[in-house]
Structure 1
Amino acid sequence: MDRGDFLASLTAGGLAGMCVDLVLFPLDTVKTRLQSPQGFKKAGGFHGIYAGVPSTAVGSFPNAAAFFVTYECMKTVLHTDASPYFGPVTHMLAASLGEVVACLIRVPSEVVKQRAQVSPTSSTLRILSNTVCEEGILGLYRGYKSTVLREIPFSVVQFPLWESLKDLWSWKQGHVVDSWQSAVCGAFAGGFAAAVTTPLDVAKTRIMLAKTGSKTATGNVLPALYGVWRTQGVPGLFAGVVPRMSAISLGGFIFLGTYDKIRRLLL
């Protein structure tokens, strides 16, 4: 990847990430409260729907920028065009590594954001200071493993599907897809990936919101999933699936469409 590609991916990814996270923040709050152990109403209901937004505002740009720089770099290194059959595998590997890197930035922001979303009367700064005082810096990375285990399957579904839909649309019309068409492909890919990975998202939310010292707070995904299934059954594993699908479908449209448009303008 040359310097121009690097800067274009960094800028386009960062701006796209900020745009989608801030626009769709209320839906994300609703989803988090539906998945929280205390239930939607006790977590705040529709009150303080923007609680935690400062954490998202700070973390969105570097998080998305890190993902797309890694994603585009790995696509170049792995030579996507070497074989038409290797393309989807390349996208899966590139997206997976991108998520591992991006989660180093995303998880601390996500921990503070989600705790603020279910405690709308507490400020983001207070939640940040309490987390660091009670759990240390590592407390900000509680749920890193569960977040990565959610994001990798999500990206393994979303990005190859997004790239394949763009290729199919491009082949049918005889030229490269426009940015709005890329956005439509992103919406379909994101919505489908969101639906199938919702149980992992529920586990991640429970781990991040668990009381310090509890078994769930250790970060083990399978016990967290089992605990939800035992108490709430299959519906509990898919709590928040509708707002999650809605947010990520719309998010995929905005995120991938904006990324594609800005990157084309910069190159």
Structure 2
Amino acid sequence: MAHQQQISLPAKLINGGIAGIVGVTCVFPIDLVKTRLQNQRQGHQIYKNMLDCLVKTVRSEGYFGMYRGAAVNLTLVTPEKAIKLAANDFFRQHLSKNGKGLTVFKEMLAGCGAGICQVVITTPMEMLKIQLQDAGRLAAQQRMAVSATQIARDLLHTQGIQGLYKGLGATLMRDVPFSMVYFPLFAHLNRLGQPSRDESAPFYWAFLSGCLAGSTAAVAVNPCDVVKTRLQSLSKGANEESYNGVVDCVSKIMRKEGPFAFLKGAGCRALVIAPLFGIAQVMYFIGIGEFILDQENKKNIL
């Protein structure tokens, strides 16, 4: 991320927050489809594929049914992006104290640190979002009317704060490798489009690099995302088993559904992550964060 390293951290956080909000709004319906497809079991399939799921969701729940759980994401996506970007910057700076460029190994270490830090926000955000996204799939088997506030209150009352962190291990298994793949891959892809070492890559190149790196990392860690989704789904449909941790979940999925079950929703996840990170690069290229801070500084001077 050669051209981004010169951006101040406050500007980067603003860019990341705006990118997250815009991205979530654009791709949330596909993310909802991903969750529902991943939660389907063999013999109890309501949806054939991504398009079938979208059509059935709109028919049964209306257009806004595709945005079940979006409020949770929109509320927490800014602090999540802030932690992820700040942590990645922090680790990159400390790993390059000698002033030299980072090796791929050190870039992966920085991404690893960022992934570990972000789960503080990611785990409860995903926990609440998944309950709301999957409610429509379960509606055919049981009547459900839930809200994020209700779910959070019930979890805190019955299980304490750890209730919101159910699936923490699986979230770490997904987000740490994702960041280890995404950050170095984007940096190297983006570097290929730089006219010279001191110039930024063109807008379209940064956008495509973000999309390609994001989708590649998303597909690579999809098996972990399937496990995380299953563990964090509190409500079960008829004949749907429960899991006692990551190992038990992996074992039961492999035994009852086969290895290809770990690829459920991979296409949807790639379609979600690619534009999210492509949009993030657009925000950095346009420099919205810098513009906002510059206007604020001018007001303070006046």
TM-score clears 0.5: yes
- What are the within-5 Å matches in structure 2 for residues 58-69 of structure 1? 58-69=75-86
- Output one character per residue of 1:189-212: Cα deviation in whole Å (capped at 9) or x when no partner: 111111111101101101111569
Aligned AA (1:192) = T
Q: Which segment drifts farther, 110-119 or 250-259?
A: 250-259
Inter-CA distance 10–137: structure 2 relative to 1 (3 Å threshold): same
State the partner residue of 2:72: 55
Q: Distance in 1 between matches of 2:132 and 2:170?
A: 19
Q: For residue 198 of structure 1, what is the aligned residue in structure 2?
A: 222
The one of 103, 109, 125 aligned to 1:87 = 103
CA distance in 1, matches of 2:187, 2:290: 16
Structure 2 CA distance for partners of 1:68 and 1:173, relative to 1, 3 Å: closer
Q: Shift of the alpha carbon at 1:9?
A: 2.3
Q: Is the 8 A contact 2:127 2:232 kept in 1?
A: yes
Aligned ranges for residues 64-213 of structure 1 at < 5 Å?
64-79=81-96, 82-84=99-101, 86-120=102-136, 121-170=145-194, 175-210=199-234
Quote the offset at 1:90 in angstroms: 2.6
TM-score under structure 2 normalisation? 0.77
Letter in 1 for 2:259: V
Larger radius of gyration: 2
State the SS of the aligned residue for 2:258.
helix
CA–CA separation in structure 1 for the residues paired with 2:170 and 2:130:
14
Check if 1:223 corresponds to 2:251.
no
Q: How many residues align?
A: 261
| Percent of aligned pairs sharing the same letter | 26
Change (3 A) 1:34 1:67: same
Match of 1:13 among 8, 12, 16: 16
Contact 1:35 1:240 in 2 (8 A): yes
Say if 2:272 is the partner of 1:247.
yes
| Unaligned ranges ≥5, structure 1 | none
Runs of 4+ in structure 1 deviating by more than 4 angstroms, as ranges, are 37-40, 42-45, 80-84, 171-174, 263-267
| Offset from partner CA, 1:91-149 (integer Å, 9 cap, x none) | 21222111211110111111000011111442222222222223222110111121111
Task: Provide the rounded CA distance (Å) in 1 between the counterparts of 2:280 and 2:14.
Answer: 13
- TM superposition shift of 1:246: 1.2
Distance 2:283 2:254 in 1: 38
Does the 8 Å CA contact 2:110/2:180 hold for their aligned counterparts?
Answer: no
Return 164-173 or 256-265, whichever deviates more.
Answer: 256-265
Q: Kindly report the root-mean-square deviation, in angstroms, between the aligned alpha carbons of the 2 structures.
A: 2.8
